[in-house]
Amino acid sequence: MLSFLARAKNDSKLNIISPGQRSRRKIAQQRACYHECKMASNVPIHTADKRTDLLGKSPDELRAFVQALGETAYRGAQIYHALYAEKRFDFATMSNLPARLRDVLSREAAIEMPRIVRRHRSEDGTVRYVLALGPGAAAPGEVQAAKPATIEAVFMPEENRQTICISTQAGCAVDCHFCLTATLGLIRNLTAGEIIGQVLVAIDDHRNVLKPQTNVVLMGQGEPLLNFEPVMAALRILLDPNGMAISPKLVTLSTSGIVPGIDRLAKEKIRPKLAISLNASSDAQRDEIMPINRKYPIAELQDACRRYPLRPWEHLTFEYVLLGGFNDSIEDARRIVKLLADLRVKVNLIPWNPGELPYAKPDSARIEAFRKTLVDRGTHAFVRYSRGQDVMAACGQLALMEMGGRPPNLAQISMK
Ligand code: SF4
Q: Output the average pLDDT for the chain.
A: 83
AA identity, residue 88? R
Structural domains for the chain = 19-41+112-412 (3.20.20.70), 52-110 (1.10.150.530)
AA identity, residue 213? Q
Residue predicted with more confidence, 140 or 94: 94
Task: Please write the tens of the pLDDT for every residue from 344-396.
Answer: 999 999 998 776 667 888 999 999 999 999 999 999 999 988 765 555 444 45
Rounded CA gap, 329 and 281, in Å? 10
Rounded CA gap, 94 and 81, in Å? 9
Rounded CA gap, 406 and 274, in Å? 33
Residues with CB under 6 A from ligand 1: 172, 174-176, 179, 181-182, 221-223, 256, 395
Distance 387 CA to ligand 1 centre (A): 18
Is the distance from CB of 174 to CB of 182 less than 8 angstroms?
A: yes
Q: Percent of the chain beyond pLDDT 90?
A: 71
Is the distance from CB of 224 to CB of 251 less than 8 angstroms?
A: no
pLDDT at 30: 36
Is the distance from CB of 97 to CB of 91 less than 8 angstroms?
A: yes
The H-or-E segment that residue 131 falls in is strand 127-133
pLDDT at 84: 98
Rounded average pLDDT over 283-302? 98
Rounded CA gap, 363 and 9, in Å? 24
Please tell me the pTM assigned to this model.
0.83
Helices (H), 218-273: 228-239, 259-266
Distance 168 CA to ligand 1 centre (A): 11
pLDDT at 104: 97
pLDDT above 70 (res 16): no
DSSP state of 212: S
Rounded CA gap, 146 and 133, in Å? 10
Question: Which ligand 1 atom is the nearest neighbour of the CA of 175?
Answer: 6
Local confidence band at 141 (pLDDT 50, 70, 90 cut-offs) = low
Local confidence band at 24 (pLDDT 50, 70, 90 cut-offs) = very low
pLDDT above 70 (res 17): no
Helices (H), 215-307: 228-239, 259-266, 283-289, 292-295, 298-307
Question: Which ligand 1 atom is the nearest neighbour of the CA of 277?
Answer: 5
pLDDT above 60 (res 167): yes
Question: Which ligand 1 atom is the nearest neighbour of the CA of 255?
Answer: 7
pLDDT at 2: 30
pLDDT at 135: 74
Rounded average pLDDT over 221-226? 97
Q: Which residues are catalytic?
A: 152, 395
Distance 180 CA to ligand 1 centre (A): 8
Segment 16-23 long-range contacts (CB within 8 Å, at least 24 positions apart): 18/414, 19/416, 20/413, 20/414, 20/415, 20/416, 21/414, 23/413, 23/414, 23/416
DSSP 133-183: E---PBPTT-SSBPPPEEEEEEEEE-SSEEEEE--SEEE-SS--TT-SGGG
pLDDT above 50 (res 405): no
Q: Percent of the chain beyond pLDDT 70?
A: 77
pLDDT above 80 (res 73): yes
pLDDT at 398: 52
Of all protein residues, the one whose alpha carbon is nearest to atom 4 of ligand 1 is: 176
pLDDT at 80: 98
